[in-house]
Amino acid sequence: MKLEIRKDVIYRCIGSDFNNGILACGYMMKPTKEQSQYNFLIDYYSCFLLLSGTGSYYTEDNTKISIHAGDFVQRIPGVCHSTEIIPDGNWLEFFISFGRTTYDYLCSLNLLPTDTPIIKVNYDNNTIHKFSRFLEQLKEAKDNELPYLSLMAQQIILSIVGYTQKDYSGDSLKETMEEACHILSSEINTTIHLEDVAAALHMSYENFRKQFRKFIGISPSQYRIQQKMKHAKLMLLSGIPIKEIALLTGYSDTYSFTKQFTHSVGISPGRYKEMS
Walk me through the domains of the chain, giving residue ranges and CATH numbers. 8-128 (2.60.120.10), 168-275 (1.10.10.60)
The one-character DSSP state at 268 is -
Contact 8, 93 (CB under 8 A): no
Q: Tally the residues of the chain.
A: 276
| pLDDT greater than 50 at residue 167 | no
| pLDDT greater than 50 at residue 247 | yes
| pLDDT greater than 90 at residue 226 | yes
Measure CA of the first residue to CA of the last residue in the chain; give whole Å.
47
Q: Which of 3-12, 22-31, 82-91, 258-267 has the lowest mean pLDDT?
A: 3-12
Strands 45-52 and 71-75: antiparallel
Contact 226, 134 (CB under 8 A): no
| pLDDT greater than 70 at residue 166 | no
Confidence of residue 126 (pLDDT cuts 50, 70, 90): confident
Average pLDDT, integer, range 212-226? 93
Average pLDDT, integer, range 259-263? 95
Portion of the chain with pLDDT greater than 70, in percent = 94
Tell me the whole-structure pTM to 2 decimals: 0.61
pLDDT per residue as tens digits for the range 142-165: 999 999 999 999 989 988 886 434
| pLDDT greater than 80 at residue 98 | yes
